[in-house]
């Protein structure tokens, strides 16, 4: 059992909750998620609405009911929220009130020790849970312990807007003020506090083994990497030879005015895939509202989607005689549902025209909107793919409009909907092998069934430089490591792409 510590940056409450639930239910490891939430008031199972003094929306906050103990509390920027998801030693199978009290005490002590490490003297107050500085509350604690495994955790005020607490009776405690480290004169930054908490957590819960990954604290500058013209090793060279079948496929695409990611992204496997009669359809237009640093797709203002596109894709599937169709799309943040309806309609259209054909969708994150994602999940694709693309540290540099926690939450939600899930990473953009192993463990922890790992190829001088050519032996090592972690199928090679050998991978799980 490894303790996996993750600093995840700013994460909406509901997405963090769904990610927690997946780690709580599916992961064999222990986890400590450290993050901030946008403004939100959460209501625990014993919450009294009388303790919510104003309509949360009137102060720019969300209101969420949740399954932790306690009353109402506030979360927001400048507050460090920690979710330890642990299997408490010797408690698997049963945990009573005494265990919960003991566990809460252990979390309080961890906070008190970590604050001491940054020069702040904190204490407990008899009869009141949480951590205090004198009689002022600096950290709220609300946990859930089920069959010896924990969820939820603590909220430590580093430098939040304390006026947000005046709109509620925090934790139902009317006679005790709330404070923050900053209000107590402590200049420690969020990172200082995260470092102190992580060190104490590893000491307390990670004795056997632990690893930590952070999303970047600042958006770093592009790494230097290999020169644009650097000679490619043989193992990333793919012959571009369009035989008769491929040309026939090209004709079908043009005839039906369809777009493929194969062409738009300049995929090296185009000849092989098209010659074997498969291709990845790109719906919702060919212009993306994002600009990921590795992606060749056009980022000018998108056109409206064409309503008959799902039928045209289905027609192409029939003409190509596909048994496994892959449908992807650009991100359409300009659309209310992020383009979700296009996916649902395309899956249904293919099912109507080619009933025996498996349908795999490779979706954007729909900005974490659960209703939009559910519209896609309800179409019951055979494989639900959403790419993590890179490791936590490089997310801001590589895909600034997306997020590590958001992508894991998207995959966790798809798995909770009972779908076969898939994700992928592109290597050679500056990550280390250990970071890749950490991301594989995170994908396994949210129940992902298929993972693809491939080599990054720089599409133009405007895109990220290649940081390294990953050796084929490394791809093999990562495949074996991922499958040893329990990922049913890892497709890993220099030329692997999200939809490469998609049918075989789906059949393998
Ligand atoms: S969201 Fe997808 S299509 Fe858009 S730039 Fe990023 S990788 Fe490319």
Q: What is the pLDDT of residues 346-375, one digit of tens each?
A: 999 999 999 999 999 999 999 999 999 999
489: Cβ–Cβ under 8 A, 6 or more apart, which residues?
449, 450, 451, 483, 505, 508, 509
484: Cβ–Cβ under 8 A, 6 or more apart, which residues?
none
364 lines ligand 1 (CB under 6 A): yes
Q: What is the pLDDT of residue 501?
A: 87
Give the separation between CA 200 and CA 203, rounded to whole angstroms: 5
- Distance from Cα 405 to the centre of ligand 1, integer Å: 17
SS3 407: helix
The token pair at 330 is 């650009």
pLDDT, block means (10 residues), the chain with 509 residues? 95 98 97 98 94 97 93 97 90 61 94 98 94 98 93 98 98 95 98 97 87 85 78 82 80 93 81 82 96 93 96 96 95 98 98 96 98 98 98 95 98 98 97 98 98 96 95 98 98 95 91
- Helix and strand tally (H, E) in the chain? 14, 19
> Per-residue pLDDT tens for 161-203?
999 999 999 999 999 999 999 999 999 999 999 999 999 999 9
- Distance from Cα 408 to the centre of ligand 1, integer Å: 17
Q: What is the pLDDT of residue 18?
A: 98
201 lines ligand 1 (CB under 6 A): no
Task: Determine the residue of 262, 364, 425 to mutate for testing ligand 1's pocket, defined as the one with the most ligand atoms within 8 A of the Cβ atom.
Answer: 364
> Per-residue pLDDT tens for 466-503?
999 999 999 999 999 999 999 999 999 999 999 998 99
Burial of 153 (0-12, 13-18, 19+ CB in 10 A): buried
- Distance from Cα 299 to the centre of ligand 1, integer Å: 9
- Alpha carbon nearest to ligand 1 atom 1, residue: 331
330 lines ligand 1 (CB under 6 A): yes
- Alpha carbon nearest to ligand 1 atom 3, residue: 330
- In the chain, the domains with their CATH numbers are 3-214 (3.30.930.10), 234-508 (3.20.20.70)
Q: What is the pLDDT of residue 241?
A: 67
- Distance from Cα 331 to the centre of ligand 1, integer Å: 6
Strands, E assignment, 116-246: 123-125, 128-133, 136-146, 149-157, 210-214
- Distance from Cα 343 to the centre of ligand 1, integer Å: 16
């Amino acid at each position: 059992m490894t303790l996996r510590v993750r600093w995840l940056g700013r994460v909406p409450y509901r997405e963090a909750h769904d990610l927690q639930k997946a780690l709580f239910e599916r992961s064999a490891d222990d986890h400590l998620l450290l993050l901030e939430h946008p403004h939100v008031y959460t209501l625990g199972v014993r919450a009294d609405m009388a303790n919510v003094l104003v309509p949360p929306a009137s102060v720019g906050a969300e209101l969420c009911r949740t399954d932790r103990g306690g009353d109402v509390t506030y979360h927001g920027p400048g507050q460090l929220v920690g979710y330890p998801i642990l299997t408490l030693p010797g408690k698997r199978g049963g945990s009573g009130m005494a265990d919960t009290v003991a566990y809460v005490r252990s979390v309080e002590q961890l906070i008190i020790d970590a604050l001491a490490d940054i020069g702040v003297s904190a204490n407990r107050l008899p009869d009141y849970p949480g951590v205090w500085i004198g009689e002022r509350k600096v950290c709220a604690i609300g946990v859930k312990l089920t069959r010896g495994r924990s969820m939820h955790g603590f909220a430590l005020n580093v430098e939040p807007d304390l006026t947000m607490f005046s709109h509620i009776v925090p934790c139902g405690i009317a006679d005790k003020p709330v404070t923050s480290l900053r209000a107590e004169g402590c200049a420690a930054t969020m990172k200082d506090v995260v470092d102190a908490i992580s060190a104490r957590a590893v000491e307390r819960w990670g004795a056997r083994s632990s690893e930590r990954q952070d999303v970047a604290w600042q958006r770093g500058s592009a790494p230097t990497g290999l020169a644009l013209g650097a000679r490619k090793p043989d193992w990333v060279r793919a012959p571009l030879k369009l035989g008769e079948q491929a040309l026939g496929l090209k004709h079908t695409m043009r005839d039906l005015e369809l777009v493929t990611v194969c062409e738009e992204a300049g995929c090296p496997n185009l000849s092989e895939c098209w010659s074997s009669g498969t291709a990845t359809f790109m719906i919702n237009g060919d212009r993306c509202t994002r600009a990921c640093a590795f992606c060749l797709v056009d980022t000018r203002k998108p056109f409206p989607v064409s309503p008959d596109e799902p039928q045209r894709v289905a027609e192409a599937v029939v003409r190509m005689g596909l048994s496994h169709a892959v449908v992807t799309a650009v991100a359409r943040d300009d659309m209310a549902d992020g383009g979700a309806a296009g996916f649902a309609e395309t899956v249904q259209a293919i099912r109507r025209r080619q009933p025996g054909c498996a349908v795999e969708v490779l979706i954007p994150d729909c900005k974490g909107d659960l209703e939009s994602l559910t519209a896609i999940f309800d179409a019951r694709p055979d494989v639900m793919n959403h790419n993590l693309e890179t490791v936590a540290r490089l997310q801001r540099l590589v895909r600034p409009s997306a997020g590590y926690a958001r992508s894991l939450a998207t995959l966790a939600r798809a798995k909770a909907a009972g779908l076969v899930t898939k994700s992928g990473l592109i290597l050679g953009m500056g990550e280390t092998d250990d970071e890749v192993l950490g991301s594989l463990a995170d994908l396994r922890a949210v129940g992902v069934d298929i993972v693809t790992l491939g080599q990054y190829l720089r599409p133009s001088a405007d895109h990220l430089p290649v940081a390294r050519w990953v050796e084929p032996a490394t791809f093999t090592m990562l495949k074996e490591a991922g499958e040893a972690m329990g990922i049913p199928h890892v497709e890993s090679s220099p030329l692997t792409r999200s939809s490469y050998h998609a049918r075989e991978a789906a059949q393998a799980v």
